[in-house]
Structure 1
């Protein structure tokens, strides 16, 4: 049965290539990237062989712990990313639980990430190429470490599966897990700058991690190289005990998943018609109300902007808060991100767009309604961060320029997105899927769409941003006022033109757009 599950996984991967040439290209690119990572790990491991044994061990323990942690966080990040291993698909089959556990664990490694992790783990043995016993310990530790990655990931996926069915939990998970990861690089860079040397704290961190399931398997080779055989045996025992415990927990969670129906969480009580009660009963008003409901309840919308309030963190970490003039650019940057958030708004509708087609709603009303919903969300946030940046710098004379540039970029970005979302459709996550679910064949199309949007918004916003830069450089009042005028006027023109042009595309190609979206299923 284990072999059957492995063959099933491989067959599903190969069959996916037949559905989309872009998926094949994406797989090849991912494989090449993974191969480059393995080569870099191997080269780094050879480099560590020239360091003292305790330093090499410290680096391997810390880096290996980060890899294990990444695998364990995968169930929260990749909800809906790969449903081929969903245990509920095997509810109707009398498969012994032990074989199902082993099969799912091994099948979870049957892919680019799993193979790359295994090869990278084995490559760490190159650090101990001149010590045969330590090399053998490194290979044993790599196998155990990868097993901890695979079993821990599947165990946590089974444990949190009932919670992941709750939309609110997925939204919170995105903020709690993804945002710290986004901020990790700048914060880590600042920490490394402030610490006198890595050698001062890395060994201590490694010693702590080596007594945890995260770092224990990666410490075995270093312990053997240092002659600490009892410590090496203790690490092996700790890792094996961890695997046994995780298998027990996973088995219990799997039994619950197979024997009990999934729960969608508590059902909220509806009171009135929400945004439909607050907006006018027009085509644009109804679409705006529906879109605002999506912004409030659809995790695809909420997740796409969940990190926006945290964008100031790198600016503050590197430049401080008081007198940091780079904070004056926060408003335009966030304005672009918020305006571009509706660049795939039509694709998010998926086949529900049929209602717009059959009801004969004007394309301009469709575009205007989506922009209204966006501005209800974006205007307060952009204004708040723009004023906050001016407050932090303490130069209130720049406020007209900052607000003018921020609002101008927001309107330009919204206008460009109104055209782009109607003229350039690409596959996105379907309703109900996780934020990180990757539609087949959509990677390259998304990359092209994002690049096109950046170029268009940059060109249309160039006059405003140039005058804004002059205003900040000179501090002249006339430049600040000119920035506000140019930003608001150019933004208003771009928005009106974008709504009309995008609306004309929908009026002309509405049924064709619906047919293209229906073909994504």
Structure 2
């Protein structure tokens, strides 16, 4: 059994090294990963060394040992649980990624399910992220050296146990989500829910910490924090990190109970993954239920013109594309997150409209790549660039207007600003500013999506990562994101003048200025994008063909 498992581990590294020799970009990415890993190790080691010092002097006074123990305990429990959930969701984003080491690649070799799953687990544990994570948690033992030698030794032992637990949970989540979510509609809903939960998790620290609270340095941790930390220590995310503290308190029953939690977690995850492998093998090739389509949809009510037909096609694609729908949830998400952090200040909630409108068109900045080879038919039909840009402008501008108005009405209800004239004026101003920013973003997007293109995952595998996507995706979206602020400079200058002149009563001027500015930026940007598309149509088709080959 171990021979097969070790062979799979060697295969993982052989494929990795072969990829590095073949692809320059993969080599660069791997080197950057190693650099970031070393940086993380240095950072964790330095922090642990500082926290493990025998004497603490913060803000000019001595830190009590009991208080420091409580802070470390609460911070470790909160941090381990939060990090565990983040790791799970990052792993979840790899669902549908057709990597070489995916389980279905070994279907023809007759490897028993248990051996195959054990090999996949050890292969993951032998990867660079798992190795860096283990070393980082082992370096964290330096933070306990002022408590006892036993805690240091126990943390060294608990580090690999924690990594095994997180890897087991990640494998189970990926296997279960891939196995249980079969239909395209289910995959789309699952993608949206996973990404929204991930964004909310990243914002949890800002929501939990109340900057308005004041008190002594020693008011933290509170009794509530300690009780929550104790509860988290009984979860798979916190059990391994609690082992050093159980050793310090000298309670063997709690220590054994924590080990039992880890062991049960490993067994349940392993059995669940094996069941998923067996289920996939039995149900492979099962036909999907055909969807019924009634009528011609958007083609029936869009304008009877070239741009109208293209608008209908784009709207039909958007309804079925989970990769782009996610950003349309952003305004609601921003408003909800700002509402939780508003502390009764309504303007904090209203600004969520502007942030949401600013980010809604990020995917449109690479819109032709999301369309894929469908754009080829436009080129073959001799469609003008202006007709293409106008069709896209019509769809996204209409969505933005309806979206922002409805969300603005919801903000009126949420804030209660509809009760006063000043509140109504404030809300209308922010709605107009949000529309102006979103219109400007559309205009810039119509220029960048035919010039700064990068590969995107296929519609059937929205979590996958095509080769060559990482570097471009980390840079090109910011060109469109920050570039849309340049056409809005007139509005920004008016805002600066109002602030400098202390003319808060004239804030309503921002509404017509921002809206007119945004409309002008959208129209001019779409016109320029049409000219650019006419000049680059053939090259765009060639680029889209190369992107399509990366999605296979």
Give unpaired runs (5+ residues) of structure 1: none
- 1:364 aligned residue: 386
Q: What SS does the corresponding residue of 1:215 show, helix, strand or coil?
A: helix
| Residue 462 (structure 1) aligned to one of 489, 505, 508 | 489
Q: In 1, Cα distance between the equivalents of 2:22 and 2:328?
A: 31
Q: Show the 5 A alignment for 1:6-405.
A: 6-18=9-21, 20-50=23-53, 51-52=65-66, 56-81=72-97, 83-129=99-145, 131-165=148-182, 166-174=186-194, 176-190=196-210, 193=213, 196-261=219-284, 266-321=289-344, 323-386=345-408, 392=415, 393=417, 394=420, 395=422, 396-398=424-426, 401-405=429-433
Q: Which residue of 1 aligns with 2:61?
A: none
Tell me what 1:430 maps to.
458
Q: CA deviation at 1:293?
A: 1.6
Cα distance, 1:279 vs structure 2:
1.0
| RMSD (CA atoms) | 2.9
Q: Conserved in 1, the CA contact under 8 Å of 2:364 and 2:449? A: yes
- Measure the CA separation in 1 of the matches of 2:427 and 2:237: 49
Greater relative CO, 1 or 2 (CA 8 Å, sep 6+): 1
In structure 2, what is the Cα distance between the partners aligned to 1:331 and 1:517?
Answer: 33
1:37-81 CA distance string (max 9 Å, x none) = 222323333344355556544443433333333333445333235
Evaluate the alpha carbon distance shift between residue 243 and residue 335 of structure 1 in structure 2; reply closer, same or farther with a 3 A threshold.
closer
Residues 213 and 335 of structure 1, relative CA distance in 2, 3 Å threshold: closer
- Distance in 1 between the 2:138 and 2:495 partners? 53
Please say if residues 71 and 221 of structure 2, whose CA atoms lie closer than 8 Å, have aligned partners that are also in contact.
no
Q: Compared with structure 1, are the counterparts of its residues 454 and 48 closer, same or farther at alpha carbon in structure 2 (3 Å cutoff)?
A: same
Q: Which sits farther off after the overlay, 133-142 or 219-228?
A: 133-142
In 2, Cα distance between equivalents of 1:471 and 1:202: 44
CA shift in 2, pair 1:65/1:181, >3 Å: closer
Cα shift at 1:468: 4.4
Q: CA distance change for structure 1 residues 145 and 182 in 2, over 3 Å: closer, same or farther?
A: closer
Aligned residue pair count: 517
Q: Contact 2:331 / 2:352 at 8 angstroms: preserved in 1?
A: no
Name the CA shift for 1:58/1:450 in 2 (closer, same or farther; >3 Å): same
Between 1:303-312 and 1:143-152, the stretch displaced more is 303-312
Matches within 5 A, 1:482-501: 483-501=510-528
Q: Is the 8 A contact 1:117 1:146 kept in 2?
A: yes
2:459 & 2:301 partners in 1: Cα distance?
25
**CA separation of 1:201 and 1:120: change in aligned 2, threshold 3 A:** farther
Higher mean Cα deviation, 118-127 or 295-304?
118-127
How big is the shift at 1:263? Answer: 6.0
Query: Whole-Å Cα distance in 2 between the matches of residues 182 and 102 of structure 1?
Result: 31
| Structure 2 residue 503 is matched with structure 1 residue 474 | yes
Q: Mark the CA change 1:474 to 1:28 in structure 2 (over 3 Å): closer, same or farther.
A: same
Give per-residue Cα distances to partners, 1:436-455, cap 9 Å, x unaligned.
43332223323332232234
Cα distance between partner residues in 1 of 2:44 and 2:336? 31
Contact 2:440 2:488 (8 Å CA) reproduced = yes
Listed one character per residue, the Cα deviations across residues 284-330 of structure 1 (whole Å, up to 9, x for unaligned) are: 11221121122211001112332321102343233334x53344434
Deviation for aligned residue 1:340: 4.0
Q: 8 Å contact 1:217–1:239 — kept in the other structure? A: yes
Deviation of the 1:187 alpha carbon: 0.5
In the other structure, the counterpart of 1:502 is: 529
Q: Distance in 2 between matches of 1:325 and 1:56?
A: 37
- Secondary structure of 1:344's aligned partner: helix
Structure 2 distance, partners of 1:287, 1:423, is 20
- Counterpart CA distance in 2 for 1:415 and 1:247 is 51
Distance 1:409 1:338, change over 3 A: same
SS in 2 for 1:422: coil
Conserved in 2, the CA contact under 8 Å of 1:331 and 1:383?
no
Q: Check conservation: 1:17, 1:23, Cα contact below 8 A.
A: yes
Structure 2, unmatched stretches of 5+, are 54-64
Contact kept? 1:192, 1:198, Cα under 8 Å: no
